[in-house]
Amino acid sequence: MAIDPKQLTIAKAAAHLAHKDFSAEELTQAYLDAAEKKNPEINAYLELFSDARDAAKAADARRAKGETNPLLGIPLAMKDNILIKGKHASSASKILETYVAPYDATATKRLKDAGAVFLGRTNMDEFAMGGSTENSAFGPTKNPHDTTRVPGGSSGGSAAVVAADIALGSLGSDTGGSIRQPASFCGVVGLKPTYGAVSRFGLMAMASSLDQIGPFAKNVEDTEILFNAIKGNDPLDSTSAPDARFASASGAKTKLRIGVPESFAYGEGVDPEVVANFKETLAALAKAGHEIVPIELSHITHSLAVYYILMPAEASTNLARYDGVRFGMLKEGAKLFDDYAETRGAGFGREVRRRILLGAYVLSSGYYDAYYHKATAVRAMIEADFARAFTDVDIIATPTAPTPAFAIGEKSSDPLQMYLADIFTVPANLAGVPGISVPSGSMLRDGKMLPLGIQFLAPHFREDMLFAAGKSVEEHTQ
């Protein structure tokens, strides 16, 4: 049968493969052909892998022996900061442009074990620092819905390849919204799992207490398939949760009690059309039998300030290893210090340098207590707010982003405006709770229909309730 990527999902493609309507090799070739045609315009892939068809042939051989798996032979894409053995992994930075991964990330290995086919590595904000994928050393990614606009970030490439039908799914990383915000901007589903639910081994660290790998897909069903493949305990990651945590958190309700922090969700700076769409989606959920109740999260308005202290602090420490000695680029100077200064000056982009400086400052003598220590204390208060809220409601809903996708270059000269795009997403990372963005409609802007998303947050390890809520949105609003 003819393969039309626009009509396929992971579940549908798996069914076709099982019925031998086409082979994994044919499916992979169709996606490679589509990527070669579309990618020059949107710059979502940094590289298409030359051995993708070989991996697809291997998947076909496994299926011929009777193996079944929903990801066997499914073409996926990987963010450029998740290691695939033998492949370049640059984190979209000049400093790692020539780096080749010597081992697989645990998430990579689990997808390989499931028989997934990796089509290529996707563009991103350098070292995951940004919300627009404009900070890549290899040029910005463009939004497939309107190529004058950003796809979101930092996992913009991973969102764009799914939205453009040049991958059936992808993995990204989320430190403050880097999966959910681009999912909203590109009109796809994006999941940030509970901190510790998916191993971070083989993920290039930005802020280690916040980073989490998660999937993008066209719908909630596919997102759940990908999450189930990559989740679980990993002895190689000391922050990985024991599998018993998943077993004890199950049995999603069919009708949910959904909390809405109204003063936060409808606050200043949120686009009126975003608010209107959010309210319409809540009304549809209420009509479907879910209960919508107002809640108060007393300290959530401090989330952005806390995040932009803790994240740069951790990033400045994590990025100290990129010094020209152990990884990637080396620019030689007259002395060892000059080697470090010239390598990091040439290898890191403007936003990365900004955050390293901010992080070093808040950790410096005389400022640690005033900034970093105070931020960790407020983070604990935010976590406590969520814990209290989840004793009364099953999940919490907000818009995913305060605006639709903005124009390329619109916020580049004003970092604070760029950071404000994370207002709804950073609280989940600070509290370690899971969050999902599900398409909730669209709005007309400059003659183009731009996607919007609704975000749901759940207690730790209750991704099942996020999937239930997301499927309800798909059923009752689309």
Identify the H or E element spanning 341. helix 336-347
Average pLDDT of 390-395? 98
In the set 155, 173, 178, 184, the catalytic residue is 178
pLDDT, residue 246, reads 82
Taking the domains of the chain in order of start, what are their residue ranges?
Answer: 5-247
pLDDT averaged over the chain?
96
* pLDDT above 80 for 241: yes
| pLDDT given at position 325 | 84
Find the range with the poorest average confidence among 36-40, 165-169, 229-233, 266-270.
266-270
The pLDDT tens digits for 324-356 are 888 788 888 888 888 888 899 999 999 999 999
Report yes or no: 125 and 153 within 8 Å, Cβ to Cβ.
Answer: yes
Residues, the chain, total? 478
Lowest mean per-residue pLDDT among 184-193, 295-304, 361-370: 361-370
Mean per-residue pLDDT, 200-207 = 98
Structure tokens at 439: 């398409």
* pLDDT of 328: 80
- CA–CA distances in Å: residue 109 to residues 103, 104, 113, 333, 396: 9, 6, 6, 39, 33
Quote the pLDDT of residue 248.
66
For residue 96, what are the CA distances in angstroms to 130, 341, 348? 18, 16, 9
Q: What is the model's pLDDT at position 366?
A: 87
Q: Is the pLDDT of residue 169 over 80?
A: yes
Tell me which of 79, 87, 218, 231 is the catalytic residue: 79
User: Which of 91, 132, 154, 184 does the annotation list as catalytic?
Assistant: 154
- Indicate whether 359 pLDDT > 90: yes
Within a 10 A sphere around the Cβ of 170, how many other Cβ atoms?
Answer: 32
Classify domain 5-247 at the CATH topology level: Amidase signature (AS) enzymes (3.90.1300)
Residue carrying the six token digits 């749901």: 456
Structural tokens at position 122: 């996707």
Strands 395-399 and 169-173: unpaired
What CA–CA distance (Å, rounded) separates 28 from 30?
Answer: 5
Beta strands at 169-173 and 213-217: parallel, antiparallel or unpaired: antiparallel
Question: 178 an active-site residue?
Answer: yes
Whether the per-residue pLDDT at 412 is higher than 90: the answer is no
Lowest mean pLDDT among 65-79, 281-295, 325-339, 380-394: 325-339
Q: What confidence category does residue 448 fall into, taking pLDDT thresholds of 50, 70 and 90? A: very high
Distance from C-alpha of 285 to C-alpha of 454, rounded to nearest angstrom: 12
The CA distance from 376 to 354, in Å, is 21
In the sheet with 169-173, reading across from the earlier edge strand, the strands are 45-48, 117-122, 75-79, 169-173, 213-217, 189-192, 435-445, 448-457, 395-399, 257-260, 291-294
For residues 173 and 105, the answer to whether their CB atoms sit within 8 Å is no
pLDDT beyond 80 at 163: yes
Do 468 and 288 contact (CB within 8 A), yes or no?
A: no
The pLDDT score that the predictor gives to residue 249 is 64
Average pLDDT for 90-98: 96
Dump pLDDT digits (tens) for 243-301.
988 876 666 678 999 999 999 999 989 999 999 999 999 999 999 999 999 999 999 99
d(CA 125, CA 131): 7
Alpha-carbon distances, residue 451 vs 74, 158, 273, 293, 419 (angstroms): 26, 16, 12, 26, 20
Is there a catalytic annotation at residue 79?
yes
Distances (CA, A) of 244 to 15, 191, 197, 248: 31, 21, 11, 6
Q: Which has more confidence, 251 or 393? A: 393
Cα–Cα distance measured from residue 466 to residue 344, given in angstroms and rounded to the nearest whole number: 41
Distance CA 225, CA 217 (A): 10
pTM over 0.85: yes
| Tokens 């009304």 -> residue | 283
Q: What is the pLDDT of residue 252?
A: 66
Cis peptide preceding 154, ω within 30 of 0: yes
- The angle formed by the CA atoms of residues 278, 284 and 288, to the nearest 5 degrees, is 140
pLDDT on residue 332: 86
H or E segment at 435? strand 435-445
What are the C-alpha distances in Å from 148 to residues 189, 274, 408?
A: 22, 20, 6
What does the alpha-carbon distance between residue 364 and residue 386 come to, in Å, rounded to a whole number?
31
Q: How far apart are the C-alpha atoms of 291 and 282, rounded to whole Å?
A: 9
